[in-house]
């Protein structure tokens, strides 16, 4: 009876602790001007200034998102797996899945009993069980800056998406995407590039739009409509 009461009390204290941490995190987001509507966000999530996260978004451990990026989950749940870095000025649509859980081909079995606690309780293997985070600890997924990801895209864990890339709706990304590429398909292939090779090189040699301060964005807003004008202004 005493053990049961101790167990119940421990659970209550754990929930209270998580609630307090959650409130602190919400205040943190608000302080930097970000709106995080979802309740399914791991407390390790870090976002920059003026981010938006839709209510049907799930974010796992060790996810970082740069300033002015947003996740729109109004038309379908969006999932961001663990160990993901999202740059600034990114646009992520509804129904997107980034870095889903792997089934590991190099082990004896691909079954999730290798990391899922449900099976560890059945098989009594708690002491030998590796967590999903431990298995994926060295596998990071990187979404560059100013990346537009269309609806219902799946991005494989471990992939890097270059700055300025565009991913068409419904695509499946299985390998790295170069900067400013426009890709689509299953698996995704490069359709074209947003700009000519010369313009892309010039943009890389310029002060990037995601590097501009808030005041610089305000003062030079009209330049964002004209690539040539922007390059003339910010060429290094």
Do residues 178 and 162 touch, judged by C-beta distance below 8 A? yes
- The answer to whether 148 and 86 are in contact (CB under 8 A) is no
Please give the structure tokens belonging to residue 168.
């068409």
Q: DSSP strand E in the chain: where?
A: 35-36, 40-41, 46-47, 52-53, 57-59, 63-65, 70-71, 78-80, 84-86, 91-92, 97-98, 141-143, 148-149, 154-155, 160-161, 166-167, 172-173, 181-184, 189-193
Question: What share of residues in the chain are helix, strand, coil (percent, to 5)?
Answer: 35, 20, 45
Active site residue 111: no
Main-chain dihedrals φ then ψ at residue 7, nearest 5 degrees: -65, -45
Task: Report the relative pairing of strands 181-184 and 166-167 from DSSP bridges.
Answer: parallel
| Strand order from edge to edge, sheet including 97-98 | 40-41, 57-59, 78-80, 97-98, 154-155, 172-173
| Of 103, 189, 192, 229, catalytic | 103
| CA–CA gap between residue 43 and residue 40 (Å, rounded) | 9
User: Which residue in 86, 50, 54 sits closest to 159, CA to CA?
Assistant: 86
Reduced to 3 states (helix: H, G, I; strand: E, B; else coil), residue 225 is: helix
* Residues with catalytic roles: 103
């Amino acid at each position: 009876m005493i053990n049961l009461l101790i167990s119940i009390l421990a659970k209550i204290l754990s929930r209270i602790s998580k609630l307090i941490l959650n409130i602190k995190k919400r205040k943190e987001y608000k302080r930097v001007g970000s709106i995080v509507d979802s309740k399914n966000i791991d407390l390790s999530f870090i976002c920059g200034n003026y981010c938006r996260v839709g209510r049907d978004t799930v974010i796992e451990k060790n996810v970082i998102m740069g300033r002015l990026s947003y996740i729109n989950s109004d038309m379908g749940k969006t999932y961001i797996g663990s160990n993901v870095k999202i740059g600034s000025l990114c646009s992520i649509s509804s129904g997107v899945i980034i870095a889903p859980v792997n089934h590991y081909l190099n082990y004896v079995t691909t079954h999730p009993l290798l990391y899922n606690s449900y099976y560890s309780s059945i098989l009594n293997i708690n002491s030998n069980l590796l967590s999903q985070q431990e298995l994926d600890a060295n596998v990071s997924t990187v979404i560059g800056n100013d990346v537009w990801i269309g609806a219902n895209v799946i991005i494989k864990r471990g992939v890097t998406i270059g700055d300025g890339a565009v991913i068409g709706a419904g695509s499946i990304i299985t390998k790295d995407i170069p900067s400013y590429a426009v890709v689509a398909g299953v698996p995704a292939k490069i359709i074209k590039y947003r700009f000519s090779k010369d313009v892309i090189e010039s943009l890389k040699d310029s002060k990037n739009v995601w590097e501009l301060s808030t005041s610089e964005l305000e003062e030079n807003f009209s330049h964002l409509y004209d690539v040539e004008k922007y390059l003339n202004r910010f060429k290094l």
